[in-house]
Structure 1
């Protein structure tokens, strides 16, 4: 579980990142989760964009993606989700 200070730090790092994945009208699926797992292991911090044609609730999508990828949900801002997961092999971010 991340503290408030750690979340603030991660939000500041994520500010300049571009979303890597998009969730559309198909919603989430196992293939998307698998790709997120691979990418988050390399990057540790990522943004995911939810498109306007997605009918599912963005909070439910964020919780589901965080749970299935075993990542921490840092923030949901607008239609963007920020996820963090400490990497086993490519540790780059040192949390305060």
Structure 2
């Protein structure tokens, strides 16, 4: 993804509220399935990660990105913005370059 596309997606995500929250149980198969559904339906989502230290939080976000095949658009504090193009109905058209 180019920097222009990342900037565009950050702008699109600005008004979104976090859809899902990673809690004390960590990253479960059910959570990954929910994130997959949300990405397929919305393409651009925010998730909150409730981990106290930064390294654990970053590790969880990286694991979610790896398991879902999504692109990490932005990470601010406990919130991460993920993007993955829908297979069935594409809603967000990314700018070229």
Please report the TM-score for the alignment, with normalisation by the length of structure 1.
0.91
Find the counterpart in structure 2 of residue 90 from structure 1.
Answer: 89
- Give the number of aligned pairs: 95
Structure 1 stretches lacking a partner, 5+ long: none
Deviation at 1:56, TM superposition (A): 6.6
Find the counterpart in structure 2 of residue 76 from structure 1.
Answer: 75
Deviation at 1:25, TM superposition (A): 1.6
Cα deviation per residue 1:65-93 (whole Å; 9 max; x = unaligned)? 01101111111111101000000112010
User: Helix, strand or coil for the counterpart of 1:57?
Assistant: helix
Conserved in 1, the CA contact under 8 Å of 2:50 and 2:57? no
- C-alpha separation in 1, matches of 2:55 and 2:23: 9
User: Helix, strand or coil for the counterpart of 2:8?
Assistant: helix
Deviation at 1:32, TM superposition (A): 0.2
Structure 1 segment 60-75 matched on structure 2, within 5 A: 60-75=59-74
Moved over 4 A (4+): 52-56
Find the counterpart in structure 1 of residue 35 from structure 2.
Answer: 36
Distance change (3 Å), C-alpha of 1:92 and 1:33: same
Deviation at 1:51, TM superposition (A): 2.3
Indicate the RMSD between aligned Cα atoms, in angstroms: 1.7
Structure 2 stretches lacking a partner, 5+ long: none
Conserved in 2, the CA contact under 8 Å of 1:46 and 1:84? yes
